[in-house]
Amino acid sequence: MNKARILVTGGTGYIGSHTTVELINAGYDVVIIDNLSNSNREVLDGIEAITGVRPAFVEADCTDAAALRKLFEDYPGIKGIINFAASKAVGESVQKPILYYRNNLNTLMNLLELMPEFGVKGFVFSSSCTVYGEPDVNPVTEASPIKQATSPYGNTKQISEEVISDFVRSGAPISSIILRYFNPVGAHPSALIGELPNGVPQNLIPYLTQTAIGIRKELSVFGDDYNTPDGSCIRDFINVVDLAKAHVIAVERLIEDKTETPIEIFNLGTGNGVSVLELINTFESATGVKVPHKIVGRREGDIEKVWANPQRANEVLGWKAETPLADTMKSAWKWQLALRERGIM
């Protein structure tokens, strides 16, 4: 028997597709809305191949309130929303701030506004460790200070958290779990779904795997003169399937009314800081594939080091990142090989 019906916005995207798989595996009835601005319809085939279930799919834009309203009418009884739909390229957001504010904030406000009318109680929001900026102390807890955003993208996450909080405080009959992801990486172990970067990847792992397979000549390591043991930046790389599982727990907690306060915030990370150079080494030893790389200058706007204290998620949600980084690197490589086999890149 199906559990509750859940709306997943951005469900054909990277994290949304992995979360849809985990929701279906847990028995939920998933409806996806995506405008396919950064994903494609074939992702539904991957989800179906893994789970044996094809989720309902609505191709529409969440900034279109009328389309959203129709979705709630066509799919009655939605109990929770997981809101992944957003534009997420930090550099692009500096070039096109209005696009980012409009897409990310109008999506959020449309969803929130329709929730009471359609009796939807729970809202899970994809936030980011970007809200902590360059932390004074690592690892960061949920109580660590929020720093001035360094990009319009980052600012949309900070503003979104405030919009959710103000809406809940106004007495709206909803509750929300805000999840602050660190650096999601890897792919489903089946290699049937994964991350599909658009154009030249800006993020480390897709650039690394594309270099390993020969699409890119070499990976540039942005800086080895940071105040870290090997001089390269430190991040908390979290396996995307582990991350997806946290969403199932979060949405269940909301639907079953188990939250301690109407808004809860959780860091989703491993708790381990890993440097860029360590990550390259881990990839090479896990896969046996060399990654040509060279050290270049720092990338403007980069944070030197940030990693999570995930204790609150561990204890309150009963969730823990468990996939070893080597396995995550293997999954990223397997996905890159699958993309070549399928003639995608």
- Binding to ligand WQD, residues 17-76 (CB under 6 A): none
Question: How many angstroms separate the CA atoms of 236 and 270, rounded?
Answer: 6
One of 85, 111, 249, 317 touching ligand NAD (CB under 6 A): 85
What would the two tokens of residue 212 be? 């390993």
Which of ligand WQD, ligand NAD, none does residue 221 bind (CB under 5 to 8 Å by kind)? ligand WQD
153 catalytic? Reply is: yes
DSSP symbols for 51-84:
HS-PPEEEE--TT-HHHHHHHHHHSTTEEEEEE-
Question: How many angstroms separate the CA atoms of 2 and 69, rounded?
Answer: 23
Residue that is written with structure tokens 């468990």 in the block: 322
One of 24, 32, 62, 174 touching ligand NAD (CB under 6 A): 62
One of 93, 103, 144, 270 touching ligand NAD (CB under 6 A): 103
User: Is residue 63 at the binding interface for ligand NAD, with CB under 6 A as the rule?
Assistant: yes
Which of ligand NAD, ligand WQD, none does residue 222 bind (CB under 5 to 8 Å by kind)? ligand WQD
Query: Applying CB under 6 A, what is the total number of residues that bind ligand WQD?
Result: 19
Question: How many angstroms separate the CA atoms of 106 and 9, rounded?
Answer: 13
Minimum CB–partner distance for residue 116 and ligand NAD (Å): 21
One of 7, 20, 21, 35 touching ligand NAD (CB under 6 A): 35
**232-251 b/e (C-beta count within 10 Å ≥ 16 → b):** bbbbbbbbbbbbbbbbbbbb
Q: How do beta strands 122-128 and 78-83 pair?
A: parallel
User: Is residue 128 at the binding interface for ligand NAD, with CB under 6 A as the rule?
Assistant: yes
Q: Quick one: residue 133, left, alpha or beta (phi over 0 = left, psi -120 to 50 = alpha)?
A: left
CA-based end-to-end distance of the chain: 39
One of 51, 106, 190, 220 touching ligand WQD (CB under 6 A): 220
Q: Which of 14, 100, 153, 207 is catalytic?
A: 153
Which of ligand WQD, ligand NAD, none does residue 36 bind (CB under 5 to 8 Å by kind)? ligand NAD
User: Is residue 126 at the binding interface for ligand NAD, with CB under 6 A as the rule?
Assistant: yes
Helix-helix angle 204-212:276-287, to 10 degrees: 40
What would the two tokens of residue 180 be? 């602050």
Which residues bind to ligand WQD, rule: CB under 6 A?
A: 88, 90, 128, 130, 154, 183, 202-204, 207, 219-222, 233, 235, 276, 299, 302
Which residues bind to ligand NAD, rule: CB under 6 A?
A: 9-10, 12-16, 33-39, 61-63, 84-88, 103, 107, 126, 128, 181, 183-184
Q: Which residues are catalytic?
A: 153
